[in-house]
Amino acid sequence: MTRSYRVISPIVAMCAAVALWVPIAAQSKTASQFYMDYRTAFDKASKIDDVLPYMSKQRADQVAATPADERAKMFEMIKMMGAITDVKILKETKTAEGATLTVEALDPDKKKTTGTVKVIKEGGAWKLDGESWSSSS
């Protein structure tokens, strides 16, 4: 039995280290990395529920307040307005609540558009709290 404990002990220690490392690695994401993950999820999303886990509580509450029969139309409009490509984060500025990202991308007409993204920390996790975009004519 002594030999099996010698083999099992290092394995248990290694599993414990991995279990502790995974949440730490998830928390060490930057706001920029979080936003790029969100953009990937947004581009693949077919319904608002697909991106709710990325939204701040305030934004998720706004979605919940929208009548269920109107959510599909609302999301369709959000998808049209959010149809950008070649997203690049130019600057990440820390704020008291999280971070503000200065972003540029290409709109559906392939014109450069610039955006400001507000990302906050809720319960230790990054959440999207708002985006505003403008294209130059």
N- to C-terminal Cα separation, the chain: 76
Give me the percent of the chain exceeding a pLDDT of 70: 80
Q: Which domain holds residue 78?
A: 30-135
Residue 117 has pLDDT above 60, yes or no: yes
Instruction: Please report whether residue 9 resides in a domain.
Output: no
Instruction: Please report whether residue 68 resides in a domain.
Output: yes
| pLDDT tens, residue by residue, 27-81 | 589 999 999 999 999 999 999 999 999 999 999 999 999 998 899 998 998 888 7
- Residue 136's pLDDT is 73
Question: How many structural domains does the chain have?
Answer: 1
Instruction: Please report whether residue 19 resides in a domain.
Output: no
pTM for the whole structure:
0.77
Instruction: Please report whether residue 127 resides in a domain.
Output: yes
Instruction: Please report whether residue 1 resides in a domain.
Output: no
Instruction: Please report whether residue 18 resides in a domain.
Output: no
Instruction: Please report whether residue 51 resides in a domain.
Output: yes
Instruction: Please report whether residue 93 resides in a domain.
Output: yes
> In degrees, to the nearest 5, what angle opens at C-alpha 29 toward C-alphas 116 and 64?
60
CATH number at residue 128: 3.10.450.630
pLDDT: is 59 or 83 the higher one?
A: 59
